[in-house]
Amino acid sequence: MSSPERIEVGNIYKIAANSENDITPPLGKGVWYKHFVVMGAYADGSVFGCVVFDSEINREFVPPGDDIFFMPISAGRYSFIDHDSFLECLKLKPASAAKLLEGKAEGKLLPEDLEKAMKLVKMSRRNSYMDLVAFGIVKE
């Protein structure tokens, strides 16, 4: 468990994710531990919009063409990544401040990765303009 800190854009947290975070844990499990990267927050700080690290693209649920929103991340680029992975920027996942802070703080996304992820988040048709405004990612 991490100590209380200021949650900032680019921070990475490993959390026990579930349906509240738009994550479907494997059959028979209540949670799935995932690395969430903060991309924005509601003005009151109650909910954060995040992208997640994935081991692979689940092509069964990702329509053709949407794989461009999965940013490749090489093994070793981050201390907690021991195999080639992806940063899924297709759809922002919600997480409360409490949920993030209950998880394990894993560092911060590198500036060049944050810039590319932010661009993909803004381009994805699965992130509505209103969500992008609500999370402070784009200004109205």
Q: What are 2-15's pLDDT values in tens digits?
A: 444 789 999 999 99
Which residues make beta-bridge pairs with 11? 108
| End-to-end Cα distance, the chain | 36
| Nearest residue to 20 (alpha-carbon basis) of 41, 42, 45, 50 | 50
pLDDT grade for 94, boundaries at 50, 70 and 90: very high
pLDDT averaged over the chain? 92
Domains in the chain with CATH codes? 11-134 (2.30.30.110)
How much of the chain, in percent, has pLDDT values that exceed 70? 96
State both tokens at 4. 């209380």
State both tokens at 137. 């990612």
Do the beta carbons of residue 80 and residue 35 sit within 8 Å? yes
Give the number of other Cβ atoms within 10 Å of residue 136's Cβ.
Answer: 16
What single-letter DSSP state applies at residue 26?
Answer: P
Which residues make beta-bridge pairs with 50? 38, 93
CA–CA separation, 55 and 45 (whole Å): 29
Q: What is the model's pLDDT at position 58? A: 82
Token pair 């500036």 is at which residue? 111
Q: What is the model's pLDDT at position 3? A: 42
Do the beta carbons of residue 36 and residue 18 sit within 8 Å? no
Residue 1 has pLDDT above 50, yes or no: no
Q: What are 126-135's pLDDT values in tens digits?
A: 999 999 999 9
Q: What mean pLDDT comes out for the span 56-69?
A: 87
Q: Write out the H or E segment, with its range, that includes residue 116.
A: helix 111-123
